[in-house]
Chains A and B, each alone.
Chain A
Amino acid sequence: MTAPKTLYDKIWDAHVAHEAEDGTCLLYIDRHLVHEVTSPQAFEGLRMAGRKVHAPDKTIAVPDHNVPTTAGREDPAQMTEESRIQVEALDKNAKEFGVHYYPVSDVRQGIVHIVGPENGWTLPGMTVVCGDSHTATHGAFGSLAHGIGTSEVEHVLATQTLIQKKSMNMKVEITGKLKPGVTAKDITLAVIGETGTGGGTGYVIEYCGEAIRDLSMEGRMTVCNMAIEGGARAGLIAPDETTYEYCKGRAHAPKGAAWEQAVEYWKTLFTDEGAHFDKVVTLRGEDIEPVVTWGTSPEDVLPITGVVPSPDDFEGGKIEAARRSIEYMGLTPGQKLSDIEIDTVFIGSCTNGRIEDMRAVAEVVKGKKIKEGIRAMIVPGSGLVRAQAEEEGLAEIFEAAGFEWRLAGCSMCLAMNPDQLSEDERCASTSNRNFEGRQGYKGRTHLVSPAMAAAAALTGKLTDVRELM
């Protein structure tokens, strides 16, 4: 009998195309997603070496980081010259190398990590990579998915493999049920608050437990999306009926007999009883509160009921980091988090730009108005999410409440397009990073769930959404 394996062990073993004596492996890649920022130098490398894309049918390209999200964006004047050059480079490279491509004009265009699952490219048991750290998102399907650098993008384009050494196994279990008002975003932030941004370094995380099982695919994607923020190579969740149900009928999912064969295989993708984890973290679902970040690292997480900490509450190098964060964020130790007034609300990103996120916002703001003077925008993660939200009547609710309803893209999550914070502007954001300058030079970011962002838009300050329920 073979030793019990984790889910990660199984997917890893199924993808080793070559193993050297020192354990360095060539890992076969099933899906390679490509966007315009981290790929131009890789395609240029291929061109200079006279190489082709090894598996164009497994390579999917879409522009997302630079694209404007306002109407009339087909007009090149909406982009800076540099942004336009990157998007045009992707257009040209996708055609020249013959990979699947969703241009800006295609309704299926959107954030690469939303487009992949939505069109059935991402399936259980696959290896998925992209020159983007939030590739971890796809782990929600029980696939091994992680970000890579541009040199590795070129390597995958040329060989459909990556040179890898295996990571260690880490289990993050969320037991029990979540309380009302607590969402997948609160789970993933709470875990990072517990482990720190370096807590997952060297590991692949498997998320499990009742609270994870209870999540929809959208929620699971939110959880896995931020595995990288905890330092992990990847985060994954074993596939189950919820997963199959999501995948079934999607454009590039298998059909007919192939579907049956695939499901049969997917049912073998779980961690065996007694398999070894090198690190285990357990949180009780009941203990998780709606959370916000107060600082400039995703580990700076506290329940909305808390207060801004003092640098003295920390140890070692974190004392100076906390001092710097509090100063950058313009906060005072001891200040109640729910007293922090905001200027802007951003709802969207690969963390929270899916249909369920749109519904969560609509539920909070239906029939209400956002606070006067607040700039609030909702940027759906893809053209298909946008179309569905319009079909469900959500867009009308948003616009009636005073939100800007945008076209799909990464937008203000990283502010490479025109959607940016100005100096000292404070934002409640459903994105994934609160780093200095992330959403605009000297901009101040508080990471929250979509429901919490919606509540902040209504009151003009960070707000416990449970008070509005």
Chain B
Amino acid sequence: MEKFQKLQGIAAPMPLVNIDTDMIIPKIFLKSIQRSGFGVNLFDEMRYNRDGSEIPDFVLNKPQYREAEILIAGDNFGCGSSREHAPWAIADFGIKCVVSTSFADIFFNNCFKNGILPIVLPQEQVDVLMADAEKGANARMTVDLEAQEITTSDGVSIAFEVDAFKKHCLLNGLDDIGLTMEKADSIKSYEDKLTAQRPWV
């Protein structure tokens, strides 16, 4: 997995609440058996007309946000399905950090597995970042994972919380499966206990 340490990039505003995984990547694009190539269809139904032409009003189609690497989003971002195609599409587009007042649980976990940092902040602070993102391409924010701090284009700093283990994995680009396999003994002894206590499982 790609490491996430410090990011300086353009932030795009998407204040709509309850942006669901069907909006992020409609199911017609879930038929690939690959992990890559979903970025072109990110937010497909909001981003393109049926004939494939771009909808100019959609934020990521505006010239100033086409290179966005950060998304400032409305509440409950990523609700709905467990499809990891949603974070795959976001990462494939080039977005590495999403900020909201809350995220759906499975989406939130999926982000960390794909080098994306989801950040939860209180409404007032998301409002500050949303206003900054509205300024367009000149508003380049800095996200420093080590320091757990976002800095706006005006130099306003906002601290954020992140789970220590997830932070460690992102900073170092660690593969979860490798880490878990180091604990094979614990799994084995659990299974021995299981066989004795709940043999029907």
Contact = CB atoms under 8 A, between A and B. Distances in A.
B84 interface: yes
A148 interface: yes
Interface stretch (A95-103, A110-118, A150-158): A150-158
A414 interface: yes
Interface in A286-304: 297, 299
A437 B47 CA distance: 13
A22 interface: yes
Nearest to A232: B105
Given A154-B177, A233-B105, A416-B27, A132 B82 contact: yes
A41 B38 CA distance: 14
Given A17-B186, A28-B194, A197 B76 contact: yes
A254 interface: yes
B81 A133 contact: yes
Interface stretch (B4-12, B18-26, B134-142): B18-26
Interface string A316-331: 1110110010000000
Contact of A22 (B50, B76, B165): B165
A411 to B, nearest CB: 13
Nearest to B20: A435
A22 B164 contact: yes
By size class, the interface of chain B is: 35 or more
Interface string A129-164: 001110100000000001111111011001111010
A147 B187 contact: no
Contacts of A176: none
Interface in B130-153: none
B33 A41 contact: yes
A400 interface: no
Contacts of A311: none
B54 interface: no
Contacts of A30: 201
Interface stretch (B62-70, B106-114, B154-162): B106-114
B41 interface: no
A30 B201 CA distance: 7
Given A38-B83, A317-B17, A438-B22, A149 B109 contact: yes
A416 B176 contact: no
A123 interface: yes
Nearest to B112: A151
B110 A265 contact: no
Nearest to B183: A18
A37 B198 contact: no
Contacts of A320: 15-17
A86 interface: yes
A202 B110 CA distance: 15
23 contacts: A17-B183, A18-B183, A20-B165, A26-B186, A41-B34, A131-B82, A133-B80, A133-B81, A149-B106, A152-B113, A155-B177, A161-B180, A198-B104, A201-B105, A231-B76, A231-B104, A258-B199, A265-B198, A297-B20, A321-B16, A433-B81, A437-B23, A438-B22
Interface of B: 15-18, 20, 22-23, 26-28, 30-35, 45, 50, 74-76, 79-84, 87, 102-106, 109-110, 113-114, 163-165, 176-177, 179-181, 183-184, 186-187, 190-191, 194, 198-201
Given A161-B180, A317-B75, 20 more contacts: A17-B190, A38-B83, A41-B35, A44-B33, A51-B177, A58-B201, A86-B31, A123-B200, A149-B87, A149-B113, A159-B187, A231-B79, A262-B198, A262-B200, A265-B198, A320-B15, A416-B27, A416-B30, A437-B45, A441-B50
